[in-house]
Amino acid sequence: MSGELSPIDKAKFVAAKQAAEFVESGMRVGLGTGSTAAWLVRCLGEKVREDGLRFKGVPTSTRTAELARDVGLEVISLDEAKWLDMTIDGADEFDEDLNLIKGGGGALLQEKIVATASDQMIVIADAAKEVQALGAFPLPLEIIPFGWQTTQALIEEVLVSMDVMGRQTTLRMNGARPYITDEANHILDLHLSRIGNPRQLSMVLNQIPGVVENGLFIDICDKLVVGHSDGRVEVRDINEGTISESQLAFVEDDNLFSDI
């Protein structure tokens, strides 16, 4: 029941519920990965069951694909879709220019590919994810397993000349073993504290041999949907330069909460 949700989960839910309204029948939609994106998938499943919504979803991870099928969504691959009307995904951090850090869920590579193959990217997040400067959340890098320690050393060497506050890097683990992405790669988390020039850092990191992609999403997000624990939802459209706000009510018997 919604009354059992934490304030953060309530904020994620209302953001997801608002974003689900942008999806129309006949669309091809990228489905993000992570806890906020999971709320979106559940909301879209409800619209399919109750409102007759029909669209094709392109998941950004195997776990999103499994959840999407479980709630009744039609799932296709990006190769089948070719191009998407929109992608809706969460973020680990965002700044006032709608630049993002993503990859906390370990799917940054597929998320970036899908987002850039879309007419627009809509990001859903709770208000706590907003920061003045990116970097408090560790920046994920997807790297190939071969020679990963050499790649790590090269990254740390490059960070010395970058506008960042910290330079510690750690290999993401899954228990006693390295975390493995859907593309069979590793993830390095960069603990930078503050990133002074995200655009420059993104370009430099992607030039390092062994780095597949980084979790900085620069100039990719078109619209941001921010949820608050009291049900308020703010929609920021960077292309239109507009900000709108609405209020969503919680429904105590909502089917979305049956598995919480």
On whether both 200 and 143 belong to a single domain, the answer is: yes
**Annotated binding-site residue? 106:** no
What is the DSSP code (8-state) at residue 127?
G
Residue 108, pLDDT above cutoff 50: yes
Q: What whole-number distance in Å separates Cα of residue 114 and Cα of residue 203?
A: 19
**Annotated binding-site residue? 45:** no
pLDDT in tens, 153-190: 999 999 999 999 999 999 999 999 999 999 999 999 99
Residue 260, pLDDT above cutoff 80: no
Active site residue 111: yes
**Per-residue pLDDT at 249:** 80
**Annotated binding-site residue? 182:** no
Residue 3, pLDDT above cutoff 80: no
| From 46, 111, 142, 213, the catalytic residue | 111
Are the C-beta atoms of 137 and 104 separated by less than 8 Å?
yes
On whether both 114 and 165 belong to a single domain, the answer is: no
On whether both 206 and 144 belong to a single domain, the answer is: yes
Mean pLDDT of 217-238: 97
pLDDT mean across residues, the chain: 95
Q: What whole-number distance in Å separates Cα of residue 170 and Cα of residue 138?
A: 10
Mean pLDDT of 130-142: 98
**Annotated binding-site residue? 35:** yes
Number of domains in the chain: 2
Q: What is the DSSP string of 67-82?
A: HHHHTT-EE--HHHH-
pTM of the model: 0.94
On whether both 225 and 189 belong to a single domain, the answer is: no
pLDDT in tens, 55-101: 999 999 999 999 999 999 999 999 999 999 999 999 999 999 999 99
Q: Is 20 helix (H, G, I), strand (E, B) or coil?
A: helix
**Annotated binding-site residue? 215:** no
Domain presence at residue 17: yes
**Annotated binding-site residue? 102:** yes
On whether both 125 and 159 belong to a single domain, the answer is: no
Domain presence at residue 105: yes
Write the CATH number for 239. Answer: 3.40.50.1360
On whether both 241 and 172 belong to a single domain, the answer is: no
On whether both 194 and 224 belong to a single domain, the answer is: no
Mean pLDDT of 138-150: 98
**Per-residue pLDDT at 254:** 55
Compute the C-alpha angle 194/127/36, nearest 5°: 100
Domain presence at residue 134: no
**Per-residue pLDDT at 109:** 98
Domain presence at residue 188: yes
Residue 126, pLDDT above cutoff 90: yes
Under the banding of pLDDT at 50, 70 and 90, the label for residue 4 is confident
Write the CATH number for 177. Answer: 3.30.70.260
In sequence order, the 6+-apart residues with CB closer than 8 A to the CB of 6 are: none
Domain that holds residue 24: 2-129+219-257
On whether both 7 and 108 belong to a single domain, the answer is: yes
